[in-house]
Structure 1
Amino acid sequence: MEYRIERDTMGEVKVPADKYWGAQTQRSLENFKIGGERFRMPIQIIRAYGMLKKAAARANLELGELPEEIARAIIQAAEEVVQGKLDDHFPLVVFQTGSGTQTNMNVNEVIANRASELLGKPLGSKHVHPNDHVNRGQSSNDTFPTAMYVAVALELNRVLYPAVEGLIATFQEKARAFDSIVKVGRTHLMDAVPITLGQEIGSWAAQLEYALSALREMEKGLYRLAIGGTAVGTGLNAHPRFGELVARYLAEETGLPFRVAENRFAALAAHDELTNVMGAVRTLAAALMKIGNDVRWLASGPYAGIGEIFIPANEPGSSIMPGKVNPTQVEALTMVAVRVYGNDLAVSFADSQGNFQLNVYKPVMAHAALEAIDLLADAVNSFNEHLAVGIEPNLERIQEHLEKNPMLATALNKAIGYDKAAEIVKKAIKEKKTLKQAALELGYLTEEEFDRIVVPMRLAKPHA
C-alpha cells in the first residue's frame, strides 16, 4: 500500500495515499480498534454531517468568514458526502471520544482534502484546512449533537413513519373487510362478550396510530439544534449569527423546521430530546409486541390452539416435525421489539451521564437510536408484506367458539338479572350444554325470548 504523510499538532502520520482522511482520523483508527465493522459510525451521521458542513460553509461565506473560493470548494465536497460518493473514507467506529471529536475531524479532513483537490492542490496540503476552514465557527461539542439530531429526524421520516403507516393501512383495510364477522372477545385470556374481527384488527390500527402520533410529537424536540454553541455553549469563535444561519440552511435542505436551541448550554450538556424520541420508539415497539402476540395467539394451532385466523405459511417451521409452520414473522418482529427496548435503555442511561457542560456519550446514543429506528422499520415492513396482508378469518373456528361462548349470557342481565344469568353459565359449563339449553332447562326464559335477546352481533355493536 502506498502512503502519504499527513500532519496534526502531535506530528506526522502515515495515511493510505488513496484516502481523503487525515492524521486525526488515522490516529483514531489505530487507537480505537473496538467493535469493528458492526459498530462503524452510522452512515446517516456522516450524511447529516455533510449537510451540516455544507450549511456551515454557506453561513461562513454569507458572513464573510471564509474566502469565496474555499467556501465553494467546501460546499461541493460536502455535497459529495451527502450524496454518498465518499462513503469509503469514513472508517471510524462508535467507541471513540464521547463528544464525537474523531468523527467530526474525520469529516473535516475528508472535506478539506477533497476541497483542496477540487482546487488543484495535493492531498495533505491543507490548502483547505480541516480546522480553520471546514470547522470554522464550530466545535465537535455542538456539531455532533446537531448531526445526531438531523440524522435521527431524517431517518424517522425516511423509513420508520412510512413503514408504520403502511401497516396501519393494511390493518384498516382488514378491519373494514372483517367488520361483519362476530367472534369471541377475550379478557384475562378468558372468554368475554363478542366483538367483531374487524373491531379487533381495527384496535391494532388505532394503537399504532396513537404510538406514531406520540413519536411525531417527540420528534419536534430534535428540531432544536446545538449549532453555534461551540465548545461549552457560549458560542466562542463563532459569528453571533452563525448558528441561526446554519439551522436555516439545514431546514431548507431537509424540509424539516430546524432552528437553534433556545439554550445551547443545555443542548451540549444533555440530550433529553433524543431520550424522549427513543421512549416513543419504545412505546411503538411495545404496541407491535402486543399486536404480534395477539396474531400468534389467534393463529395458534392448527387444532390445539385458538386458530381463528389464518396467516401465510412462508417456510417450513421445524427441522424435525414434518409439515409444521410457525408464526416466524411475529417472532422476528417481537425480537426486534426486545432489541429496541435495550437500545432505549442505552440511550436513556447515556443521556443521564452528562457532566457539567458536556455529555460524552453522544456516539453510542446516536448508534443505538438509529439502529432501533432502522431495525423497527425493516421488521414492520417484513411483517406487513409477509404476514399482515395475508391474514384471513377461519370462519368455521370462529363460529364454533362463538356458539360455545358462555359470556353470551351477559345479554341476559337486564332480562333476568346477573345471578340467574350466572347460574345459566355455570350449568352450561358443568354439564357441557349450550347456554340456550341451560336457560330453557332452568325455566328462566322461553326459546323465543332467548333468541330475541341473545344476538351476538347486537352484543358486539350494542349502539349501532
Structure 2
Amino acid sequence: MNNERIDSFRIEKDYLGEMRVPKDAYYGVQTARAIENFPISGQSSQPVFTTSIVQIKKAAAMVHVEIGCLDSRIGNMIILACDRILNGEFQDQFVVDVYQAGAGTSHHMNVNEVIANIAIEMLGGVKGDYSVVHPNDHVNYGQSTNDVYPTAMRMAALQSSKKLIKNLYALTETFNQKAKSFDSVVKSGRTHLQDAVPIRVGQEFSGYAASLLKAARGIERASESLKDLGIGGSAVGTGINTHPAYAGKVVEKIRKMTNLDLKESKNRFESMQSNAPFVEFSGALRTVSVELIRIANDLRLMNSGPNTGLGEINLPAAQPGSSIMPGKVNPVIPE
C-alpha cells in the first residue's frame, strides 16, 4: 500500500527544497507549494483569466522564436501546448486558490508549469524534467508576474464585458420597443409612493431605456483605459531581460489573437503599478448594477397584486411562487 502511494508521486525541487507532486499532474513544485499554502476558498481563477495568461504565453513564445531569443524547437512546442489549453484541454490542472499571495505569482507559475510539462511530453520527455522545457527559463522568458498579471487582468475584463455590453444594448432596445407599445397608456405618476400627476407608461419605459444606454456606454468608456498594456515591462517596468522589439511585437500578437483593440502602453510603469483603470471599470459596473436594481424594483412594484397591489403591469409568470399558497406567482426574474 505504501509503495503504491509512493509510486503515485514524483519528486520536484525548487530553491526551497524538494516537494512531492502527483505523478499525473501537469503542474509542478511551485503549484504544489501554493496548494499547501493557500487552502482557502476551494475556488480557482476564472477560466477567462487563465485563458488570457495562456494567450500571453503563446504570443511571447511566437515573438521570441521570431526574433531568435528562443530555440524554435522549444518555442514551437510551447505554442502548441498553449493551443491545446486554449482548445479546452488540461482545464483541471489550474488549481491554485483564487485567494493567494501578493501579485499572483502562484497562479502565474501554475500556468507556466502546466505549459512546460505539456511541451516536455510532446518532445518525448517526462513530466518534471525541466531540462527539456523550463517553466521559468523558456515559458516565462522575458516576462514577470508583474507585467503578465496586470495585462491578463485587462484582457480578461475586456473579454468578459463583451457579452454584458451586447446584452445591455439588447435590453435597451427591448425597453424602447415597450416604450412605443405602451405610449398610449396613461397612469398615475408617483412621488414618495404617493399619487402625483399623470404619466404615460411608455414615458416610464423610455426612461429605463435611456438609463441602460448610458450605463452600457459608461462601460465602453471605462474599457478604454484597460486597453493600454504594460506587457514588456518585465519586473519593474524597465523591460529588463527583454529584447528591444519584444513589447511592441507581443502586443500586436495579442491584439490579433483576441480581436481586442489593445495598445502598447506609453508608460509601462503606470500600467504595471496603477489600479485606476480597474477602479474606473468597477465604477461603471456598479452604475449598471444600481440602474438594473432600480428598474427591477419598479417593475416589481408596478406588478404587485393582483388584487390589493398596484397591478399596473403583468410580468410573465415564470414559476409557482409559494409552497403554501396555491396560485401565488412571484416576480422571480426581477428579483
TM-score normalized with structure 1 length: 0.69
1:330 is paired with a residue whose SS is coil
Offset, 1:330: 1.6
2:136 is aligned with what amino acid? Answer: N
Deviation string, structure 1 residues 431-450 (Cα, Å, up to 9, x no partner): xxxxxxxxxxxxxxxxxxxx
2:51 matched to 1:47? yes
CA contact (8 A) 2:10 2:23 kept: yes
The structure 1 residue matched to 2:31, chosen from 25, 30, 36, is 25
1:437-452 → structure 2 map (5 Å cutoff): none
Query: What's 1:230 paired with?
Result: 234
- Bigger Cα Rg: 1
2:151 matched to 1:149? no
Query: What's 2:289 paired with?
Result: 285
CA contact (8 A) 1:47 1:84 kept: no
Which has a greater percent of helix?
A: 1
2:92 is paired with a residue whose SS is helix
CA contact (8 A) 1:185 1:194 kept: yes
2:75 matched to 1:71? yes
2:11 is paired with a residue whose SS is strand
Tell me the distance in 2 between the aligned counterparts of 1:207 and 1:142: 36
2:270 matched to 1:253? no
Tell me the distance in 1 between the aligned counterparts of 2:273 and 2:261: 22
Tell me the distance in 1 between the aligned counterparts of 2:148 and 2:125: 27
CA contact (8 A) 2:165 2:219 kept: no
Query: What's 2:224 paired with?
Result: 220
Query: What's 2:145 paired with?
Result: 140
Tell me the distance in 2 between the aligned counterparts of 1:135 and 1:206: 47
Query: What's 1:352 paired with?
Result: none
Query: What's 1:121 paired with?
Result: 125
2:205 is aligned with what amino acid? Answer: I
Offset, 1:244: 1.6
> Which has the larger displacement, 176-185 or 95-104?
176-185
1:140-179 → structure 2 map (5 Å cutoff): 140-157=145-162, 159-179=163-183
Offset, 1:298: 0.6
The structure 1 residue matched to 2:136, chosen from 131, 134, 155, is 131
Q: 4+ residue stretches of structure 1 with deviation over 4 A?
A: none
> Which has the larger displacement, 238-247 or 140-149?
238-247
Tell me the distance in 2 between the aligned counterparts of 1:19 and 1:156: 33
Deviation string, structure 1 residues 232-263 (Cα, Å, up to 9, x no partner): 11111111221221111111011111122222
CA contact (8 A) 1:225 1:247 kept: yes
Tell me the distance in 2 between the aligned counterparts of 1:234 and 1:84: 35
Unaligned runs of 5+ in 1: 332-464
Offset, 1:321: 2.9
Deviation string, structure 1 residues 99-127 (Cα, Å, up to 9, x no partner): 00011111111101111111111111111
Unaligned runs of 5+ in 2: none
1:301 is aligned with what amino acid? Answer: G
Query: What's 2:213 paired with?
Result: 209
CA contact (8 A) 1:46 1:81 kept: no
Query: What's 2:20 paired with?
Result: 14
The structure 1 residue matched to 2:99, chosen from 88, 95, 100, is 95
Query: What's 2:333 paired with?
Result: 329
1:232 is paired with a residue whose SS is coil
1:160-199 → structure 2 map (5 Å cutoff): 160-199=164-203
Tell me the distance in 2 between the aligned counterparts of 1:239 and 1:9: 27
Offset, 1:320: 2.9
Offset, 1:7: 2.2
Tell me the distance in 2 between the aligned counterparts of 1:209 and 1:131: 46
2:13 is paired with a residue whose SS is strand
Offset, 1:89: 0.7
2:104 is aligned with what amino acid? Answer: G
2:38 is aligned with what amino acid? Answer: F
Query: What's 2:9 paired with?
Result: 3
1:193 is aligned with what amino acid? Answer: V
Tell me the distance in 2 between the aligned counterparts of 1:42 and 1:98: 18
Tell me the distance in 1 between the aligned counterparts of 2:240 and 2:108: 18
1:328 is paired with a residue whose SS is coil
1:342-357 → structure 2 map (5 Å cutoff): none
2:239 matched to 1:239? no
Tell me the distance in 1 between the aligned counterparts of 2:76 and 2:319: 55
Offset, 1:319: 2.7
1:298 is paired with a residue whose SS is helix
Query: What's 1:415 paired with?
Result: none
Structure with greater contact order relative to length (CA < 8 Å, sep ≥ 6): 1
Offset, 1:189: 2.4
Offset, 1:268: 2.1
2:327 is paired with a residue whose SS is coil
1:329 is paired with a residue whose SS is coil
Offset, 1:204: 0.9
CA contact (8 A) 1:48 1:147 kept: yes
1:309 is paired with a residue whose SS is coil
Tell me the distance in 2 between the aligned counterparts of 1:241 and 1:184: 66
Aligned length: 328
Deviation string, structure 1 residues 261-318 (Cα, Å, up to 9, x no partner): 2222222222111111110000000110110011011111112221100012222222
Tell me the distance in 2 between the aligned counterparts of 1:176 and 1:304: 28
